[in-house]
Structure formats: C-alpha cells, structure tokens
Structure 1
Amino acid sequence: MLWVVESVLIVLSVVAAIWLRAHADPEGREWLFARGPVPALLVAACLTLSMAAFGLYQSHLRLRRSELLLRLLLAFAFGGVALLVLYYLIPATHIGRGLLAITFALGFASVLVVRIAMDRLLGGEAYKRRVLVYGAGVHADLINLRMRRRADRQSFAVVGFLPVPGQPVVVESRLLLETLESLPCLVQRLGVQEIVVAPDERRGGLPMDEILACAQRGVSVVNLPSFFEREAGMIKLEVVDPSSLVFSGGFDHSLVRRLSKRAFDIAAASVLLLVGWPAMLLVALAVHLEGGGPVLYRQVRVGESGRCFELVKFRSMRTDAEKDGVAQWATQQDARTTRVGRFIRKTRLDELPQLFNVLAGDMSFVGPRPERPQFVDQFNDEIRYYSVRHSVKPGLTGWAQLRYPYGASAADAQEKLKFDLFYVKNHGLLFDFIILVQTVEVVLFGRGAR
C-alpha cells in the first residue's frame, strides 16, 4: 500500500512540475503531456526502486526520524543518478533537468510527509487486525518474546491470551482473558478478527466446534507457525512440525521456477560482472600489493542436495589463517584479517568472485549462504530441519542476510535457519528480486559484515 501511494505521489509530482514549469508556455506543456505517462512512470519506478534498495519498504526496520531523512536523501540521489543514466541510454524518455529538479523537490517533500503521517495515524490500534491467541503457555508466549517491538506488530494487535483448560499458563496475568463465556461470544464481544491457535499440546485440547463457529462468522483462524511465517518472515523452529511444512504449500521446484531462477541468476551475475570488473581488478591489485601471496581464496562449501563445491573469494585474511587445518568462525576485529581484507569484507567486495560460481551453476544469486562441511555436519546433528536449507542452491545473498547479522556460532546458525527455511518454502522470482534490491541497503550500511 505504501509503495502504491508513494508511486502515485511521485507521478503527481511530475504532473505538477510540468504545470509549474510550463504554465507560461502552453505549447511546451501540450508537448510534454502528449508524450503520455511513460516519463512519469519511469521517474516513479526509479525512485521507488531506489527507496527499496535503501530498505525503506522493509516492515521490520525501525528508523528514527533522522535515519529516515538520510535514507530518503540517499534514495533520491541514487534514483536521480539512475534516471540520468536512463536518459543517456534512451533520450526519448528525458523530461528536462528543470522539470526533474522540481519533481524531486515535490516528490521528496510529499513522500516524507506521507511517511510521518502514516507512522502517526496508522500506528494506532484502530487500524490493526484484532487477534486473540488461543493458548497461554510456552508456545503462545513466544509472540511476546519474539514480537514485542512496535515494528513487529504494525499489522495486528493482540486483544489477549485465552488459557487452554488443563495446560500450564506462562503468559503474564494482565494479558489473560476470562474464560466464563464461550469462545464465539468472547470473539464477538471483543471484535476479534483473527484467532491464533497456539496451545502447547493440541491433542484433545481444542474446542473445534467453537472454533468452527467463529470461522463461520468470518473470523480468520491460523496456527502459530503460519502466524509467525506471515508476520515475522520466519519459520519458528520451536513450534513447527513436519506436517506444518508438508501441508502448508510452498517449496516450488517446478520446471518454470527452475528455468526462471537460472535465467535470473545468469542475468544478474552477468550485469554485476559487467559493472563490477574495474572494482575487481582494483581489489585484486590491492590484495597482491599488501602482502603478496594468492589473490583468490578457495574453500569447500556445501551446496544443493549436500553436494560440495569450491567457493572462490578474494583473500581477506593472512595466508596462514587456518594453518592447523581446523575451520574457525570469523570474529569481531579478527586478528587474521588484513587491512585490505577488513575493507573488502565490510563492503562485500571479497565476494564478487562468487559470481563465477553463480554462472557455473554451483550457486544461485539468492539463497541460503553456503556453509563449510565441518559446520554442516555439526549443525545437522544439533539443529532440527537444518538439512532442509540444502534443498535449493546456496546464494550470494539471501533472506537471512537481510534479517539477521553475521552468524558465528551454532545459536546464530539456528536463528538464521528460521529465515532460510522461510526463503526455501516461499522462494519465487519476485521474492528473489526484492532480496537483491534490498541487499544494496545491507552493503551500503554495512549490516552483518565481519
């Protein structure tokens, strides 16, 4: 909704700029309007795409007013550069520097006002879906533990937790609902629009007749794993079971999906190589000049279906970083990292050679990050469903990289797996494109690098 509103505002900003610029020149105004909506739509597409690249359409991202202003400024600046390149390549789309300047001023002001207004107006409880949680035990309390921030609850408001008879209560007493009336009556009285079924034990503990009566009145009913998947973009390992994964759809491996993903990989990798080869030459030269030794670093990683392949990166650590042959996690301020290595790891330039892995078919552009065999063996034993992430090709970037910082332990691997499983279950061409665009924000702001 926000993207649609802001796209319309930017298109209207182009129209307003034409009227302001050409009010004294009727012939010029008629010429501009005769060209149709294409120039205005191109401006809106470039600016909103740039805003997406700077994370401005990530619902989980909490921004202070100053951070919002900075990201908007950067997004409009990069969008302007993209438009100038487009105008150079396709002169027919050009609308003039004066018009563009007025459009940017009007568009920036209107987008900023809308962002502030929506944050204040739509943040109220009246605009959120009213949710009743059926359950008050350990599973139900995960909503309070993992979705306690305001940014986590932008689309819903929990009216209360209804304890399941005979099951332990963990949720705070102030959040509990009385059980003196039937579930349909309680739902009607509280204006509930959705019931999240979250008992610790489901066998024999659910009043299915009452839940069915609520569903017949138009109240949505979802289980806790589906609720987390929809609202948090993750598969909650603590509550999901094999049947939830099997019967909830997803896991698209059709021929059309495989072909579209491969085409996307080849196109994205080729474009990035075409644009990034000068940077790759400079990085290779800097790595060589700093201390000699090999420029590239090769490491065995685990790919699709558990098959191993050789991943290629620019060397960012000393040549004796793992002289004992034991795999080690990278740490904050890792002493093994060279000066050039610290910079290229922070900016992700060390990963550019992996584009050749993508072209070779060992990796995809988007997917779970590939791990080393030693760690995979450990995680398969310690973490439930870890092997599921290997049902798709590993990626140069991924959903977990956007939603979770650098992982350096088994606990981090378990947290990242929640997002990797969400991607594996829901991957698609549009989702890949969204992740690719938002990766720009991760690189520019250095989130997760180590």
Structure 2
Amino acid sequence: MSVIDEERVRGGLFKDIDAEDEDAQPTEVESLCMNCYENGKTRLLLTRIPFFREIIISSFTCHHCHWTNTEIQSAGRIQEQGVSYTLRIKSKQDMNREVVKTDSATTRIPELDFEIPAFTQKGSLSTIEGLLDRAVAGLEQDQPIRRATDPDVADKIDQFIQRLKKLKDVEEEFTLIIDDPSGNSFVENPFAPQKDQSLSVTPYKRTKEQNAALGIQESEPEPDEKPGSDLETMRNEVLVFNTNCPECNAPASTNMKLVQIPHFKEVIIMATNCDSCGHRTNEVKSGGATEEMGTRITLHLTDVSDMSRDLLKSETCSVLIPELEFELGMAALGGKFTTLEGLLKDIKELVVMKNPFICGDSSTTDTSEKLELFGKKIDKIMAGEMDVHIVLDDPAGNSYLQNVYAPDPDPEMKIEQYTRTFEQNEDLGLNDMKTDGYGEVQN
C-alpha cells in the first residue's frame, strides 16, 4: 500500500470533530453488560482531536439495568519518554483544570497516601474534580458488600471517602501527581503560554519494567556488534541501523552521524525516515560528557539576520524569553540542531498550534486570545520587529549558539558559567554517581 493510500485509509477511519458532519456517526455493536449480564449496546467513535492525536471514544448503555459506561483510548503511538505531572492545588479554580489521563497513568495524592495504580481505570478526558469523583465512585462501589462482611474496613473506607470529598472544597492545599510512562497524559496550563508556577512537568526515560507493562520490547544488540569500538568510523561515515517507525511501527532505518560543531564540541545527529507512512523525525544528542559547570547563553536580538544563527539545544536545556514572560522547560522539544528561527517556529507550533486545550469544547475565549497574541509576538520576533532576549539555560553545559563574530567576542551575546544546584544535579542523575575511590584497594 502506498503512502497516499494509507493516509486515505487513516483519514477515512479517523475524522476531525465536527458537529455539522453528518457522516461522523458512531458505530453500534451489541455487547454484554457487566452489571446485569444482559446484552446492551456499545457505540464507538474514531475521531481526531485537533492539534492533539487520534482517539477512540466508546460509550456503553444497557437498556435492562440502565448502567452506562464511557471511556477514551489513545489510537496514537507511545511517546519516546514518559511524563510526570505534579500539580499543587490551591483553589477551587484548580479543580476545573482539564486532564487527559490514559489507562497506563498512575494517580497519587501524597497528603492522603492515596494512589490509583496504572491499568486499574480506563482512559478519560475529565477535570481534576472529575478524577476525584471517579475515585470516590470506585471506592463506594463495593461498600455494601464490605459492610456485610467486614464492617470495620467499611467504616474506615467511609472515613477515607469523606476526606476525598473534602478535597473538592480545597480547604487546604494538596498535591496531585499523574505519572504516565506512555507520555500520553496531559494536565491543562490555564496560564499558557506563561509558565504555571503550580504545575511541574518532568519527562523521564522508562525503565525496563515500564516498557514491559506497555508491551514494548527493547531491541538487543547483535552478538557481533561492538558498540563504541571504532570512533573514527563514526566520524567519517553515516551509520545506519534498523528500528521501528515511532508513528506506524513499521520497520524503518535510522541514520546516525557524528558531527563536529566549530568552536564547540561533537554532537550525534540521528534521523529516521519511514517508507511506509512517510513519517520523518530527527534528534540531536551531545557527543561529550556533562560539563563541570552549567551554561547560560543570553542573546540580545538586534537584527533579523540573528534568525539565521545556528543553534544546538540539548535535552537538558530550557529556553526563556523574559520580555514575554515565557519559559520552555528542559526536554519539551528534545534535542535540536537548527537555527534560531527554527527554534522559535517549533516553540510556536508546540505552544499554540498543538495545544489540545484551545480547540472544541476544551477552549475558552480568554485562553485562545492569549495564545493567539503569543503566536503573533513570536512572528514579530522572527521578523525582527521586537527587541527581546533569548536565554538558553543548560545545566549540563551541552547547548550552543553561534557566535557570528568568532573567534572574537559577540557584543550582543553573553555566556555565563555557573555552579549547578543540588536539584539540577538530581535532575541530571549526577548525585548518585559516586566514582571517587573506586580504584583504591580496599583493606
């Protein structure tokens, strides 16, 4: 099947949400009711959320016992990294934040020592209040049986349910943590594009156990392979190794090249091109070690020609635009080797065009207007019509911005070296690396 034919098939299955589209009708199938064991009806709708991804919405209704159930499943791919959202809930307005929670996500409330394990609930598109209501409903479901068999346990669960219900009044601040190894869960930032001081987003690499739970099998190197045995080969040749397409999971090939950036260091550029679906992806990794000190690069944009400066943003680098009160956290865009204009385009696409909470029923006029204004400001920066500063803050010291005056200093660029904090070392995994004294003979 050609790429065009495959796109037509996917386009025929997954259609954009449109209330006026008469053809976007759900499919009805007869299925067993798990409440009364009579036959009910399940309605399935394969749709595409604008600027988000393809999903499957299912709704079950039993006409015998009137039991209903709805759920949402992601029809897209598993992301390259897992993600953990930590939200400090301080007011009732926070209870209205929208949440996309997949079935692989774990939900925790540390103050109550409460946890909803992964794969115990189906995926849902809800709010913080809706998550709490769903947790309460799950605990109340078997209470009649518990009261008959173990009244003491039932009383304790009743007390705990009351504590959960009181959280909705937000009489005291509490923390909600959503940890999703698949990377497909989201928590709304109502202040976008500005940083949300109450919300922390932490991407991370999955463990082998998490990959196994998601059904991902890690590829093992061939017996004859000797990784890292010939560095000169990597410098002079483009290496090709087999992998799977992150979009359609079809066999694909990844090209890898070790490149020396002038006046900086070596980086590894990897690019994947899928012949089946046409998906393309590229990623940049630092070829060197973590530097002893972090690096903060501040560039004052004075001319539109600054947009053509080469830029290397590592996975550990955050991007700040103080004049817009904007901060992009580390790993948000991954590692990139591009130009300053390319970075700004990626920021606009991530914050404005791919934001799932500004489309359809999830959107609000105020949020949409703020993000639209932010996008216009980014366009003005790229056109050289705004006087702003771009700050690249990399605790690992592996990011780079081209100095067009090299080897002389750039009058508009300031490079600072700083000592990392304990928290930054913790994020980089350096606090657990103890190598002193390993070579000494132990008596």
TM range (shorter): under 0.3
TM-score (norm 1): 0.24
| Structure ranking higher in helix proportion | 1
| Structure ranking higher in strand proportion | 2
